[in-house]
Amino acid sequence: MGQFERTELLLGVENLLKVKKAHVAVFGVGGVGGYTVEALARAGVGILTVVDKDTVSDSNINRQIIALHSTVGMPKVQVMKQRIFDINPDACVNAFECFFLPDTAEQFDFCAYDYVVDAVDNVTAKIEIIRRAKEAGVPVISSMGTGNKFNPLDFKIADISKTCVCPLARVMRRELAKRGIKGVKVLYSEERPVKTGVLDEETGKSVPGSVSFVPSVAGLVIASEVIKDLIK
């Protein structure tokens, strides 16, 4: 059987064609975003834009699909780009090695995307991604916090206004409400975060704990939502 024949059996010919023609932008290709991109590429999404400034580090190996001892020190988007081509040589990949912030946002044409995935950690960046997607009339899904979580079965998909427990979702609800932005689909967890009590020596901020099977599940759930929405 061909590469996408089993997917075609599940989705149907017309729906698979929609997926192959789709352009999805994923901002952040770490723990959550990396698995989202992986699943989208394997599902046949034809055009993928991936955005991330970070390089792979040893501390990423416990949970990020692109993080291996052989990729440590390499730009995440370049590792991800090569991985996509290994999965689907016919894919078109746009790799942006930068952080998405208001001062870098102008290089991105949100009207060119069929779907936007926000998998970044920075609240300012998350709000700007959502705002620009909404402004362009493009569907967007935003990942809330996955750090300090242990149970992947507690992930839910909901409107941001319906979220609870998640500290990041609480901040995002407030900030989006201030800007009058409504109707934002998010992935969040109803598990109460574990407190690690460990502080980063440089920033003084709490270091979140993580484990392989939590952000991976989050990323795969987001990918499923994207595909379901693309073939509606």
pLDDT for 129: 98
Q: Does 195 score more than 90 pLDDT?
A: no
Q: Does 74 score more than 90 pLDDT?
A: yes
Interatomic CA distance for residues 211 and 148, integer angstroms:
9
Band (pLDDT 50/70/90 cuts) for residue 107 is very high
Interatomic CA distance for residues 27 and 117, integer angstroms:
6
**Does the 5-230 domain belong in CATH 1.10.8.290?**
no
Q: What's the whole-model pTM score?
A: 0.97
Say how many C-beta atoms besides its own lie within 10 A of residue 210's C-beta.
19
Say how many C-beta atoms besides its own lie within 10 A of residue 113's C-beta.
22
Q: What is the mean pLDDT of residues 153-181?
A: 98
Report the DSSP beta bridge partners of residue 199. 206
230 burial (CB, 10 Å; 0-12 / 13-18 / 19+) is buried
Q: Does 72 score more than 90 pLDDT?
A: yes
pLDDT for 197: 74
Contact 66, 213 (CB under 8 A): no
Band (pLDDT 50/70/90 cuts) for residue 205 is confident
Q: Which one, of 109, 105, 128, lies nearest residue 118 by Cα? A: 128
Q: What is the mean pLDDT of residues 65-86?
A: 99
pLDDT for 69: 99
pLDDT for 159: 99
